[in-house]
Amino acid sequence: MTQSFETLQIHAGANPDPATGARQVPIYQTTAYVFRDAEHAAKLFNLEEVGYIYSRLTNPTVAALQERVAMLEGGAGAVACSSGHAAQIMALFPLMGPGRNIVASTRLYGGTITQFSQTIKRFGWSCTFVDFDDLDAVKAAIDDDTRAVFCESIANPGGYITDIRAIADVADAAGIPLIVDNTSATPYLCRPIEHGATLVVHSLTKYLTGNGTVTGGVVVDSGKFDWSASDKFPSLSAPEPAYHGLKFHEALGPMAFTFHGIAIGLRDLGMTLNPQAAHYTLMGIETLSLRMDKHVANARTVAEWLETHDAVEAVTYAGLPSSPYYHRVDTVCPKGAGALFTIALKGGYDACVKLVDSLELFSHVANLGDARSLVIHSASTTHRQLSPEQQEAAGAAPNVVRLSIGIEAAADIIADLSQALDKASA
């Protein structure tokens, strides 16, 4: 029976506990699992049977979360891990090798730009950043050593919407996967796999949990990419020495990437999500559609009001008809343009600082996607490590403040912004 998103967000991956009948997914706070006998243990370790071995690899609470997110995204499988940044490395790990590169959008979270421009160099990987609105530039940046294309569905901080289908077509023509960070949109607003993405990554920390209590990440595989079509992805297509020459794609088909992420990625990188965090996220996802509808409605109302304010130079919300990305909302994010955007203030950097310090309802934190409205000055915080040119390209110039609109009463959000803007422009 085909079930709606609203039903799956509650029921997917959550069967009554067979031992107790518990309706909510229990927190399986255990390190290891008892094998039935020696043969059972051997089959688990040899990937001949699916089951639980050790909680660095697999855990029933985490497994329920993985199944739920995979179903909501329309993927074949998922691997949960300790943070959104961990998810990005987990997504790249089976694809990359020394001397290989990725092509990524210039419009990314500042921490991602730092991870891709600096940290991955230590693995011998590199990244070329390109304006993803320029498809010819994306094509030109891809070379024989490129192993993935990376973008965000709704880009942080500006709320820009990516034409995922167009980018997927470029990646397909080059025979490489497209990885989409869907954190800002969630699968309720955007399903990148339906637009051609191979892999989807999330920071569970944000909207999926929705209450600022969890740090976590997840990688969802579409199960549709042919890892054996070329010799570019030997981790998935060639014999794996640690499993007696097993070829993941040949043996596991659509689940090859997911099993590799668990059997090798989590085994060796150890970026495991703890079961309590998985439990919190499962509970958060149960109300995802309700929260996102409210986030979007509030963001639209607040953005429309801000666009008319004398102290505001520009609003980047893609849900406004004035946005150059407005035409992509209906096709990429048909249920709304999210709740993350920036405002540029006529008073420049000083006005931004005064605004942040004057807000009372908004919380000044380095996070987004909370039920609460959040604010931050990206250029001096989340994007501080970047050059002025990189900040500008990412939409985090010094005169810009990022807003993550919560689910409070829209009138109260506007009242807080109003008094703070008055002080900032005084």
Q: Specify the CATH number for the domain of residue 271.
A: 3.40.640.10
* 70 plus 183 within the same structural domain: yes
* 304 plus 408 within the same structural domain: yes
Contact between 187 and 217 (Cβ < 8 Å): no
Report percent pLDDT > 90 for the chain.
Answer: 88
* 230 plus 342 within the same structural domain: no
* 331 plus 227 within the same structural domain: no
pLDDT(51) > 80: yes
pLDDT value for 239: 97
CA terminus-to-terminus distance, the chain: 60
The CATH number assigned to the domain holding 407 equals 3.90.1150.10
Final residue before a domain boundary, out of 284, 314, 342: 284
Interatomic CA distance for residues 102 and 116, integer angstroms:
9
pLDDT tens digits, residue range 124-140? 999 999 999 999 999 99
- Closest of 153, 186, 224, 192 to residue 69, by C-alpha: 186
Rounded alpha-carbon distances, angstroms, from residue 89 to 24, 141, 390:
31, 21, 22
Residue 390 within any structural domain of the chain: yes
pLDDT(110) > 90: no
* 316 plus 407 within the same structural domain: yes
- CA angle, 86 as apex, 278 and 286 as ends, to 5°? 30
Residue 135 within any structural domain of the chain: no
pLDDT tens digits, residue range 176-190? 999 999 999 999 999
* 315 plus 405 within the same structural domain: yes
pLDDT(1) > 70: no
Number of domains observed in the structure of the chain? 2
pLDDT tens digits, residue range 319-336? 999 999 999 999 999 999
Residue 146 within any structural domain of the chain: no
Domain range for 395 is 288-425
Final residue before a domain boundary, out of 264, 284, 304: 284
Residue 209 within any structural domain of the chain: yes
Angle between helices 60-73 and 275-285 (to 10 degrees): 40
Residue 152 within any structural domain of the chain: no
* 60 plus 186 within the same structural domain: yes
pLDDT(309) > 90: yes
* 269 plus 344 within the same structural domain: no
Residue 406 within any structural domain of the chain: yes
Residue 251 within any structural domain of the chain: yes
pLDDT tens digits, residue range 194-231? 999 999 999 999 999 999 999 999 999 999 999 999 99
- Closest of 107, 132, 111 to residue 120, by C-alpha: 111
Convert the chain into a string of H (helix), E (strand) and C (coil). Answer: CCCCHHHHHHHCCCCCCCCCCCCCCCCCCCCECCCCCHHHHHHHHCCCCCCCCECCCCCHHHHHHHHHHHHHHCCCEEEEECCHHHHHHHHHCCCCCCCCEEEEECCCCHHHHHHHHCHHHHHCCEEEEECCCCHHHHHHHCCCCEEEEEEECECCCCCCECCHHHHHHHHHHHCCCEEEECCCCHHHHCCHHHHCCCEEEEECCCCCCCCCCCCCEEEEECCCCCCCCCCCCHHHHCCEHHHCCECHHHHHHHHHHHHHHHHHHHHHHCCCCCHHHHHHHHHHHCCHHHHHHHHHHHHHHHHHHHHCCCCEEEECCCCCCCCCCHHHHHHHCCCCCCCEEEEEECCHHHHHHHHHHHCCCCEECCCCCCCCCEEECHHHCCCCCCCHHHHHHHCCCCCEEEEECCCCCHHHHHHHHHHHHHHHHC
- pTM comes to 0.95
Mean pLDDT score of the chain: 95
* 421 plus 368 within the same structural domain: yes
* 238 plus 329 within the same structural domain: no
Report percent pLDDT > 70 for the chain.
Answer: 99
* 252 plus 313 within the same structural domain: no
* 354 plus 293 within the same structural domain: yes
Name the residue with tokens 């699968």. 187
Burial of 234 (0-12, 13-18, 19+ CB in 10 A): middle
Residue 61 within any structural domain of the chain: yes
Final residue before a domain boundary, out of 284, 300, 319: 284
For residue 346 the two structure tokens come to 């006529």
